[in-house]
Every structure is written in C-alpha cells, then in structure tokens.
Structure 1
Amino acid sequence: METNTDELKKFLESKISSLKKELEYYEYLLSLVESGYAPVRGNKGSIDSIKNRRGEIVAEVYFTPPIAKIVMRRKLSLHRAYLNALSKILEDSKATDKIDYNIVFDNDAIKEIAISNVKEDLTLNKIKTAIQVILDRASS
C-alpha cells in the first residue's frame, strides 16, 4: 500500500509543478498583453525602449533578428541580488530558447546586454519584460 501512496505522491507533485509552470506562462502572456505587446515582423530592425514606473527611459532595445542589444541610457550599478536575478533569467532563456548573451560592464555599472540567436518575438519580449522589471526596481 505504501508503494501506491509514494507513486501517487510523486505523480501529484509532478502535476503541481507542471501546472505552476503553465500558470507562470499564462501570467507572462497576460503581462505582455497588458504592456501593449507589439510583435516584431520581418528581418528589419526595430528600436524599442525600457521605461521605469516614472516613464523615464532606462534602456533602449535594438533588435535586428537574430541579434538584440539592450543599451543602458545612463550608468546603473546593480546590486548583487538584481545581477543574480538578471543572470538567472538569461540562463533560463539560454537553456529553453537556445539564446546566447553577453553582459558588458563599465567598471561596476551595467552598460549593455547583447543577446544573439533570438529566433522568436516571444523570446525577445519575455527577456525584455523581465529585464524591465529588474531595471525598474534598480533605478527607483
């Protein structure tokens, strides 16, 4: 009887984990819709910006598929917690979306983030939204 209980417990834990991931995905899609998601079409480049809550432009996003560059408008030193969050987001995207990235620093201030192998608009918007949250909190 204990074996069946263990198997049931493992199944339920796996199902809960799967549903949490699905919920996160839908919450992310909702945040895209709420932020005015505009898909990027074709191979032409695009320029976008990342703003903080006060409406100030914190960074500019240059995207020419498959390369994206996020360039800071001013020097911004990130605390270790923000750098860890940024690295985790980019590493997760590296694993799932097969991107590659490079974070460029000027002394201790972040200067730009270069991302290559961005094949889908959704990938770029997911990264941009996550970075926007981090930069907004760091610049406040």
Structure 2
Amino acid sequence: MEPNTDELKRFLENKIISLKKEVEYYEYLLSLLESGYTPIKGNKGSLEYIKNRKGETIAEVFFTPPLMKVVIKKKINIKEAYMNALSKILEDAKNSDKIEYNIISDKEDLREINITNIRDNITYNKLKVGLQTILERASA
C-alpha cells in the first residue's frame, strides 16, 4: 500500500507544479491584454528602444515577424552572470517556442542578438522583457 501512496503523492505534486505554471501563463496573457496589447498585422515591422534608468538608449529592438534583431547602442561589457542569464532566457525560448538565436559579441562587449522563428506577439514580448531586464542591469 505504501508505494501507491508515494506514487499518488508524486503525481499530485507534479500536477500542482504544472497547474501553477499554467496559471502563471494565463496571468501573463492577462497582463498583456491589460497593458494595451495590440497584435502586429502583416509584415509591418516595429522599432522599440531599451533604455537604462538614466533614460539613455541601450539598444534598439527591430521586429519584423518572424525576425527580431536587438542592436546594442551603448558599450556593454557583459559579465558572465548576465551572459548566463541571457543564454538561459534564449535557451528556454528555443526549447518551448522553437526559436533560433545568435549572439554577436566583440571580445566581452555585446553587440547584437538575432532571433528568428518568432511566431506570435506573446513570444516577442516575453523575449523583449527578458532581454530588457538583463541589458538594463548589465549597463548599470
């Protein structure tokens, strides 16, 4: 009888974790709608800026579905911890959203990030927010 209890406990714990992730996803979608989400139609591109706390432009984000290009405008000597965080965000998106990416750097200075196969605004916004957070902290 004991093994069945352990199996049931593991099943329930895994189910709770799965449902929490699902709730987080729906909360994220709701936050997008509440923040004024508008879908991009056709192949029209967009240009957005990532700025630091001082209001200086750190990077330009060009998005023409399915391509996203982040061009670094300010010299950012990216430390290993930030590079690991950047790689984690991109690898997670590669595994879950099937994107491809390329990080271009000159020695230790980050220059550009190219991402392909972005199929929807949710993936785009998730990546942009993640990259913005890391770039803001790395440039401080």
User: TM tier, shorter chain?
Assistant: 0.7 to 0.9
CA contact (8 A) 1:104 1:111 kept: yes
Q: How does 1:1-140 map to 2 (within 5 A)?
A: 1-29=1-29, 32=32, 37-140=37-140
CA deviation after TM superposition for structure 1 residue 23, in Å: 3.9
The residue matched to 2:20 in structure 1 has which SS?
A: helix
Q: Which amino acid aligns with 2:133?
A: V
CA deviation after TM superposition for structure 1 residue 17, in Å: 1.6
Cα RMSD of the aligned pairs, angstroms, is 1.9
- Quick one: percent identity of the two aligned structures? 61
The residue matched to 2:70 in structure 1 has which SS?
A: strand
CA contact (8 A) 1:65 1:119 kept: yes
Unmatched segments (≥5 aa) in structure 1: none
The 2-side partners of 1:33 and 1:136 are apart by 24
CA contact (8 A) 1:28 1:126 kept: no
- Shift of the 119–84 alpha-carbon distance from structure 1 to 2, 3 Å rule, reads same
Query: In the comparison of the two structures, how many residue pairs are matched?
Result: 140
- The more displaced of 123-132 and 6-15 is 6-15
The residue matched to 1:44 in structure 2 has which SS?
A: coil
Q: Which amino acid aligns with 1:73?
A: K
The residue matched to 1:39 in structure 2 has which SS?
A: coil
> Taking structure 2 as the reference length, what is the TM-score of the superposition?
0.88
Unmatched segments (≥5 aa) in structure 2: none
